[in-house]
């Protein structure tokens, strides 16, 4: 299941916004732009329509003050339109209702994740995961999924242990093996024990490779480590029921350094089912690098520009062309004025005006044309002008010195 078009009318900051992914929407849709440009509002719009029929999370709905740009008391979900490849929202929901999985159309993670403490002392039942009735309801809500997901992991382990009548070590290896693979791909960390609620040790225990003989509980992990474990555990538990779902993840990079961000997005993509689509709102360098490199053929990028008059005019956004010029502008969101310091792997000198424009832009016709022609296939290559044809050889030492840096 994939979304191909969404339209928000007079919703939050938008007079009218349409995101059109075309007839061949990709598996990953990245909403990229600075803070406050409306990325989270797109997620809220999807949830506003969905929650009119069956709520996600347990934080409750919000009234027109939250959703209506005009503060209209009669404002409702009919101002949001979602078109999937397979039909409109109502068609999809009717099909899901037949399967009893109408609440799995969307899976949502807000940027405000609470996972600071995990110490369970009392066993209790949890509802079916397909009901999607815990965690955040909208982007402004606290997303406190960790405790309930720990309970679900314990249930999954105990069920397998009794159904297969196997050793605890075999059950543990089966249940947390795949999860550990994802965690270790991002961190020097792996789960060694699911703890024991009845013994007052209701938490996850971990080891690291440099002292594998000592284990420590979830609560002593760093904020970034907790974020990674929290996100991956939630996706792992949803794999079976959420196999035809739109996953919405708002700023998953919080508290996580750049190199881990890149690895995390790759693992998120692996854990999400083949028939699913991932929408992610981000301005993370690590996530952008994964989209530019490992996931380039699976993604579409929607750019939200800070100076766009969202509230006063109709706007239609389509995926950017992924050439070097576009990537430079996108990375400027994350790097600000440091963008120019990110060097290409390869520089090709061209004949043309050697002095840049007032803002540093390329003025040579040849270089501009080549950057446009080859920018998408070779985003790590930069064509630059360096004067007339007799001057290029004279500047070879400069080129070698520049490339070496």
CA dist., res. 203 & res. 224, Å (int) = 18
Residue 89, both tokens: 């929202």
> What count of residues does the chain have?
405
Average pLDDT score over residue span 175-198: 91
CA dist., res. 215 & res. 192, Å (int) = 7
CA dist., res. 247 & res. 272, Å (int) = 8
pLDDT of 401 > 80? The answer is no
What is the structure's pLDDT at 397?
64
CA nearest to 67, candidates 37, 84, 89, 47: 47
CA dist., res. 17 & res. 317, Å (int) = 8
Mean pLDDT of the chain: 88
What is the structure's pLDDT at 361?
74
- 88 contact partners, CB below 8 Å, separation of at least 6: 81, 82
Residue 217, both tokens: 């509980």
What is the structure's pLDDT at 398?
63
pLDDT digits (tens, 9 = 90+) for 79-97: 999 999 999 999 999 999 9
Average pLDDT score over residue span 195-200: 85
pLDDT of 404 > 70? The answer is no
pLDDT of 380 > 90? The answer is no
Q: Element (H or E) spanning 6, and its range?
A: strand 3-11
pLDDT of 341 > 60? The answer is no
CA nearest to 182, candidates 129, 237, 219, 241: 237
Phi/psi region, residue 25 (left: phi>0; alpha: psi -120 to 50; beta: rest), is beta
Most confident of 158-172, 261-275, 346-360, 378-392: 261-275
pLDDT of 198 > 70? The answer is yes
pLDDT digits (tens, 9 = 90+) for 145-156: 999 999 999 999
Contact 55, 133 (CB under 8 A): yes
CA dist., res. 392 & res. 395, Å (int) = 5
pLDDT digits (tens, 9 = 90+) for 94-120: 999 999 999 999 999 999 887 778 888
pLDDT of 235 > 90? The answer is yes
Secondary structure class of 341 (helix, strand, coil): helix
pLDDT digits (tens, 9 = 90+) for 6-44: 999 999 999 999 999 999 999 999 999 888 889 999 999
Contact 262, 287 (CB under 8 A): yes
Residue, of 404 and 140, whose pLDDT is higher: 140
DSSP state of 104: G
Contact 6, 29 (CB under 8 A): no
pLDDT digits (tens, 9 = 90+) for 367-377: 889 989 998 88
User: What's the pTM?
Assistant: 0.84
Residue 29, both tokens: 């849709």
Average pLDDT score over residue span 204-212: 86
CA dist., res. 319 & res. 29, Å (int) = 9
- Could you count the other beta carbons within 10 Å of the beta carbon of residue 355? 8
CA dist., res. 340 & res. 380, Å (int) = 13
CA dist., res. 11 & res. 1, Å (int) = 25
How large is the angle between the packed helices 223-238 and 168-186, nearest 10 degrees?
120
With bands split at pLDDT 50, 70 and 90, how would you rate the model's confidence at 344? confident
CA distances (Å), origin 165, targets 80, 123, 162: 50, 22, 5
CA dist., res. 276 & res. 145, Å (int) = 21
What's the alpha-carbon Rg for the chain, to the nearest Å? 24
With bands split at pLDDT 50, 70 and 90, how would you rate the model's confidence at 186? very high
pLDDT of 336 > 70? The answer is no
Average pLDDT score over residue span 234-248: 95
pLDDT digits (tens, 9 = 90+) for 248-262: 999 988 778 888 999
- The per-residue DSSP string of 193-229 comes to E--BGGGTBBS-EEE-GGGTT--EEGGGS-HHHHHHH
With bands split at pLDDT 50, 70 and 90, how would you rate the model's confidence at 211? confident
């Amino acid at each position: 299941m994939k979304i191909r078009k969404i339209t928000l009318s007079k919703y939050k900051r938008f007079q009218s916004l349409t995101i059109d992914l075309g007839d061949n929407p990709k598996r990953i849709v990245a909403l990229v732009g600075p803070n406050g440009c409306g990325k989270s509002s797109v997620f809220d719009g999807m949830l506003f329509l969905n929650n009119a029929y069956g709520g996600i999370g347990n934080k409750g709905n919000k009234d027109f003050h939250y959703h209506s740009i005009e503060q209209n008391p009669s404002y409702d979900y009919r101002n949001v339109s979602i078109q999937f490849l397979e039909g409109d929202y109502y068609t999809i929901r009717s099909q899901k209702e037949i399967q009893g999985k109408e609440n799995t159309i969307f899976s949502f993670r807000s940027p405000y994740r609470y996972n600071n403490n995990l110490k369970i002392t009392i066993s209790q039942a949890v509802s079916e995961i397909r009901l999607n009735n815990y965690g955040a309801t909208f982007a402004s809500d606290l997303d406190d999924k960790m405790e309930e997901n720990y309970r679900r992991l314990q249930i999954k382990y105990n069920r397998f242990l009794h159904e297969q009548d196997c050793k605890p070590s075999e059950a543990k290896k089966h249940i947390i093996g795949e999860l550990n693979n994802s965690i270790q791909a991002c961190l020097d960390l792996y789960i060694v024990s699911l703890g024991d609620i009845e013994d007052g040790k209701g938490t996850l225990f971990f080891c690291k490779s440099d002292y594998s003989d000592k284990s420590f509980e979830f609560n002593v992990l760093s904020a970034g480590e907790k974020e990674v474990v929290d996100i991956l555990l939630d996706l792992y538990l949803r794999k079976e029921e959420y196999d035809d779902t739109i996953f919405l993840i708002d700023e998953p990079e919080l508290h996580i350094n750049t190199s881990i961000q890149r690895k995390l997005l790759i693992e998120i993509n692996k854990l999400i089912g083949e028939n699913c689509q991932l929408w992610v709102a981000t301005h993370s360098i690590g996530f952008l690098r994964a989209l530019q490199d490992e996931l380039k053929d699976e993604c579409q990028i929607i750019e939200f520009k800070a100076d766009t008059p969202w509230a006063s005019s109709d706007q239609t956004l389509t995926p950017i062309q992924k050439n070097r010029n576009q990537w430079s502008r996108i990375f400027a969101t994350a790097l600000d004025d440091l963008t120019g310091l990110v060097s290409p792997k390869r520089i090709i000198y061209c004949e043309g005006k050697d002095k840049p424009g007032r803002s540093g832009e390329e003025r040579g016709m040849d270089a501009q044309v080549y950057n446009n022609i080859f920018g998408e296939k070779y985003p790590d290559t930069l064509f630059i002008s360096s004067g007339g044809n007799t001057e290029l050889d004279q500047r070879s030492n400069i080129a070698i010195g520049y490339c070496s840096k």
